[in-house]
Chain A
Amino acid sequence: MSGIARSLDISASGLTAERMRMDVISNNLANINTTRGADGQPYRRQHVLFAANENGTSSFASMLRHAARGSVEGSIGAGVRVVGVEPDQGPLKKVWDPGHPDAVNGYVTMPNVEPVMEMVDLITATRAYDASISAIGAAKQMQQRAMDIGKG
């Protein structure tokens, strides 16, 4: 039964990761004009970092079982996980606006969020989400076809 549950769990981890990326992109877009962040600094664009799950992290018992049998299935990965949300290290934009309350020497430091880049990331995240959904559909169809072996 682990075969059935496993492929869907791997795709589910991909869907969760892309959904988190969507949240980070939405946050970037919402804070595109935020000059006062939590620590008084302007908002910095955020990146989300993904890491691949090694098979060992899924469960110790299954790893032991696969190693004892020497089967290849033990070396298949277990999906993706989000390891962190890091601020972008690039320079912030300076805009000339002497009347602004947050202006320093006439320049206001604005967040380094490019709307066009965020829209492209949005499209990429949506396509990756759709790709995982297609993988789930294909796995489900494979299982249904396998069950048709018994009929007739």
Chain B
Amino acid sequence: MAGDLLSVSAPALAPARELTDSWRLPAAEEPQGKSFGQFLTDAIGDVNALQHKAGDTVQRFATGERMDVHQVMIALEQASTALQLTMQVRNKLVEAYQDIIKTQV
């Protein structure tokens, strides 16, 4: 429906991931669990899956398959919410980047 979000945003995420990777502690001291970059990638993947599911649902409904109206609306709403969440995450990342860039040396 909106294209493959993952392939479009992956190159944009590369500088963010480099930034988080460079701050990682040495292996012995690193806390267990996923890094921030990994969280972000997983979240983008989920958003992508929801967009695909919404597009697929709308297509099946438009081609006449008998489907409940509420299922179509809920799929669309989930995709929209996930996309808005991604926009907020992007805003925060850009804000953080700009704050760091403004550092006077």
Interface residues of A (CB under 8 A from B): 1-2, 4-5, 8-9, 11-12, 15-16, 19, 133, 136, 140, 143-144, 147, 150-151
Contact of B88 among A2, A9, A140, A150 (CB under 8 A): A150
Bound-complex Cα distance A4 to B91 (A): 20
Residue picked from B50, B77, B91, B92, most chain A C-beta under 10 Å: B77
A-B pairs, top 9 by smallest CB distance, nearest first, are A1-B46, A15-B70, A150-B88, A12-B74, A8-B74, A147-B88, A143-B81, A5-B78, A8-B78
B91 touches A150 (CB 8 A): yes
Interface residues of B (CB under 8 A from A): 42-43, 46-47, 50, 68, 70-71, 74, 77-78, 81-82, 84-85, 88, 91-92
Bound-complex Cα distance A133 to B71 (A): 12
B70 touches A1 (CB 8 A): no
Residue of A nearest to B88 (CB): A150
A16 touches B78 (CB 8 A): no
Smallest beta-carbon distance A15→chain B, Å: 4
User: Given contacts A1-B43, A5-B50, are A16 and B77 in contact (CB under 8 A)?
Assistant: no
Determine the chain B residues whose CB is within 8 A of the CB of A140 once the complex forms: 77, 81
Residue of B nearest to A2 (CB): B46
B71 touches A4 (CB 8 A): no
Bound-complex Cα distance A8 to B78 (A): 8
User: Given contacts A1-B47, A150-B88, are A8 and B82 in contact (CB under 8 A)?
Assistant: no
Residue of B nearest to A4 (CB): B81
User: Given contacts A147-B88, A150-B91, are A4 and B78 in contact (CB under 8 A)?
Assistant: yes
A150 touches B92 (CB 8 A): yes
Residue of B nearest to A143 (CB): B81
Smallest beta-carbon distance B93→chain A, Å: 11
